[in-house]
């Protein structure tokens, strides 16, 4: 019973810390909208470059392979009914609606969320965050808010790029393995994918970007002042981001089904 009680206390403590961190993030974002946030635009541009252009190769490779895998899996069943052409439908809807956003979110959680945790964790160890507080500069506005904003802006664009690469991967399988023509595959994809599917995928991308940034920054603000604490914070940030992405995917899927989208 004592163990269960301790777990319950830890759960409520973690929940309270999460809500407090989200509240501080909202305040920092409101200050940004009012033009009173303390941050450097050059830092924001560098973070955008790191989260955007530099992530294109890995996101493109993963999305291309995922699209190819979906096409292979679909072809195995659809061949039984001589309906290989519908591989284009399955790959297009799956990638545009959620798979591109999920895979991009997981890649960014490991690539960018871990990097955020390592960067800010090192600043925590070197007492740079304490120095910002001493100078009257909010770490939430100076460090956290630019990273959240950069990921929220870049994730939808990365999702669009992932959509294209995933569909291209499915097209390669359809053309070279299923004897479909490029025009057939293209027309089938265009007819099956609508704006609702695209909108759900882009909205999911924004949500996943915020989750990755929140996870990476929140764990660092809670970490200690040693090298091992920074490593633990980075690991915890990646795990928290991936779990958050999966949970939010389930919530978005249920809501879309309830709304009939």
pLDDT digits (tens, 9 = 90+) for 53-94: 888 899 999 999 999 998 888 888 888 787 778 888 888 898
User: What's the pLDDT score for residue 7?
Assistant: 46
The contacts of residue 37 (CB under 8 Å, 6+ apart) are 28, 31, 141, 145
In the block, residue with structure tokens 């609508």: 194
Question: For residues 104 and 162, what is the distance between their CA atoms, to the nearest angstrom?
Answer: 7
Question: pTM of this prediction?
Answer: 0.84
Inter-CA distances, 43 with 48, 138, 157, 230, Å: 9, 15, 20, 22
Q: Are 113 and 219 in contact (CB under 8 A)?
A: no
User: What's the pLDDT score for residue 17?
Assistant: 65
Q: Are 87 and 71 in contact (CB under 8 A)?
A: yes
| Residue segments in the chain with a per-residue pLDDT below the cut of 50 | 1-7, 11
User: What's the pLDDT score for residue 1?
Assistant: 46
Task: Count the residues in the chain.
Answer: 261
Three-point CA angle 61, 162, 174, nearest 5°: 75
User: What's the pLDDT score for residue 6?
Assistant: 47
Contacts 24+ apart (CB under 8 A), 118-121: 118/230, 118/234, 120/216, 120/217, 120/220, 120/221, 121/220, 121/223, 121/229, 121/230, 121/233, 121/234
Handedness of CA 42, 163, 201, 187 (dihedral sign): positive
Helix (H) or strand (E) holding 195, with range, is helix 195-221
User: What's the pLDDT score for residue 3?
Assistant: 46
Question: For residues 73 and 81, what is the distance between their CA atoms, to the nearest angstrom?
Answer: 14
Helix (H) or strand (E) holding 19, with range, is helix 2-33
């Amino acid at each position: 019973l004592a163990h269960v009680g301790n777990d319950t206390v830890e759960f409520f403590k973690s929940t309270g810390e999460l809500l407090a961190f989200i509240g501080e993030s909202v305040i920092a974002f409101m200050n940004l909208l009012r033009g009173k946030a303390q941050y450097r635009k050059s830092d924001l541009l560098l973070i955008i470059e790191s989260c955007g252009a530099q992530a294109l190769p890995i996101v493109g490779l993963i999305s291309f392979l995922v699209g190819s895998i979906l096409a292979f899996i679909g072809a195995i069943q659809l061949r039984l009914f001589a309906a290989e052409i519908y591989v284009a439908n399955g790959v297009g809807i799956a990638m545009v609606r959620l798979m591109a956003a999920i895979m991009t979110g997981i890649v960014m959680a490991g690539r960018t969320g871990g990097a955020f945790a390592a960067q800010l964790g090192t600043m925590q160890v070197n007492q740079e965050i304490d120095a910002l507080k001493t100078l009257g500069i909010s770490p939430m506005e100076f460090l956290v808010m630019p990273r959240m904003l950069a990921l929220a802006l870049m994730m939808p664009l990365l999702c669009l790029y992932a959509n294209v690469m995933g569909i291209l991967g499915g097209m390669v399988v359809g053309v070279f393995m299923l004897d479909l023509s490029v025009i057939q595959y293209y027309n089938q994809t265009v007819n099956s994918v609508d704006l609702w599917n695209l909108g759900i995928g882009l909205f999911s991308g924004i949500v996943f970007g915020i989750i990755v940034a929140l996870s990476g920054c929140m764990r660092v603000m809670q970490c200690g002042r040693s090298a091992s604490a920074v490593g633990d914070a980075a690991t915890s940030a990646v795990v928290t981001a991936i779990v958050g992405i999966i949970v939010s995917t389930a919530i978005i899927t249920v809501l879309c089904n309830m709304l009939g989208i």
